[in-house]
Amino acid sequence: MKAIDTYTIRTTLLAFLMVLVSLTGIIWVTQALRGIDLMTGQGQSVLVFLGVTGLAIPLLAMIIAPIALLIAVMHSLNRFATDSEIIVMNAAGLSPTQFLRPFLIATCAVSVLVASLSIYIAPECLRALRRWQTEIGADVLTNILRPGEFTKLGPLTIRVDGRQPGGVLVGIFIDDQRNPAERIDILAERGTVQKNERGSFLVLQDGNLQRFEAGKRDPALVAFKSYAFDLSQFSNVAQNITYSARERPFSELLSPPKDDPMFQQRPGEFHTELHDRIIAPIYPFVFVLMAFAALGAPRTNRQNRNFAIAVLIVGILVVRIAGFGFSTVSAKLPTAVIGQYAMLALVCAGSIWLIVRGVIIDAPTNLIAYVQRLISRLIPARARTS
């Protein structure tokens, strides 16, 4: 591999990693803030909060990676053009296809990353996220113990005054009438929910217990430093988990179970998701070819690149929006996915043709002349008004 190839690949991949980490981190923070209720409302720890919200990062990275690569390639090409390196390499006999080669090598690495995220990592994380959310939602202890509310679970009534960091409950009142032979009232200053192999317990600290036995007038009063109240029957109620098409493994999308109720109801979603995962690693190549076709041709410092950048951005938006449109339509019309493959093939073919022919994308002469005339008319008008 030539030194210029190594230099280009290193520059592009470093820029890609910086953009990918930055954009993914920013979007993840905005999404994670929506799940802050896990800590405030349900009393989960910071580790649970980070774990649940962090499982969405692979999906975000898969979506952002092609855009991050596009920005990295644009940055590298603009840097080469600013330093006149593209002109020097062209004058030294480096053809456009040879100059494109290191960018394609970098794109292969990004495409492998996107494929691994799309086919395996992201769906696996989404399934883990669904299981975790279902477990948290099924755990009545994390949902019923809301500050300031009396919660009745059949013959059991529980109230807490508030929550403190670390899942500590304060001001706990329990009225237990599950045993017809006795009634138990408990007051405790604080307590925590603990789970082990024997079940789930509300471990109370510094309180007292009153036991009213049937047939007796006076209650039995017991003060305690620590008392474990069994709540296993209200914890982790079993629930069936139904995974969506996006959460299914790739093998199930290729060959869905015939008796799967989700597949029977929405077969189009399985078809669309399968092709979305196949197409995801193709988009990095499409974006890189479009970027190189617009910005990879040698230009002098006096030649403006703004028009080519504007055309590239508009082209990327059109291609991506059209891709989303084809995916949406293919859920009801499976043959629409052919349009998406055809569109990407045409865009790649057109970009390669522009690269091989060395076409420079620039504003039309007539458009430039019209803008200059318009500016010349506006400047005197402003001069007269001032």
What local confidence, expressed as pLDDT, does residue 237 receive?
47
Helices (H), 235-335: 250-254, 261-265, 267-279, 283-295, 306-330
Region of residue 206 (left: phi > 0; alpha: psi -120 to 50; beta: else): left
What local confidence, expressed as pLDDT, does residue 215 receive?
74
What local confidence, expressed as pLDDT, does residue 107 receive?
95
What local confidence, expressed as pLDDT, does residue 313 receive?
92
Strand order in the sheet with 168-176: 151-153, 156-164, 168-176, 182-196, 199-213, 220-230
Helix (H, G, I), strand (E, B) or coil at 147: strand
What local confidence, expressed as pLDDT, does residue 159 receive?
85
pLDDT in tens, 41-100: 555 566 666 777 788 889 899 999 999 999 999 999 888 887 777 778 777 777 888 889
Q: What does pLDDT average to in each consecutive run of 10 residues of the chain (386 residues)?
A: 82 94 89 62 61 83 93 90 78 82 94 94 88 62 67 79 78 85 88 75 88 81 86 58 83 84 83 92 95 83 77 93 91 89 95 88 66 67 52
Question: For residue 206, which of 186, 229, 189 has the smallest C-alpha distance?
Answer: 189
Helices (runs of H) and strands (runs of E) counted in the chain: 15, 6
What local confidence, expressed as pLDDT, does residue 174 receive?
87
The burial class, CB within 10 Å (0-12 / 13-18 / 19+), for 40 is exposed
Question: For residue 81, which of 351, 342, 321, 302 has the smallest C-alpha distance?
Answer: 302
Distance CA(235)–CA(157), nearest Å, equals 15
Region of residue 101 (left: phi > 0; alpha: psi -120 to 50; beta: else): alpha
What local confidence, expressed as pLDDT, does residue 110 receive?
95
* 7 within 8 A of 101, measured Cβ to Cβ: no
Distance CA(164)–CA(45), nearest Å, equals 11
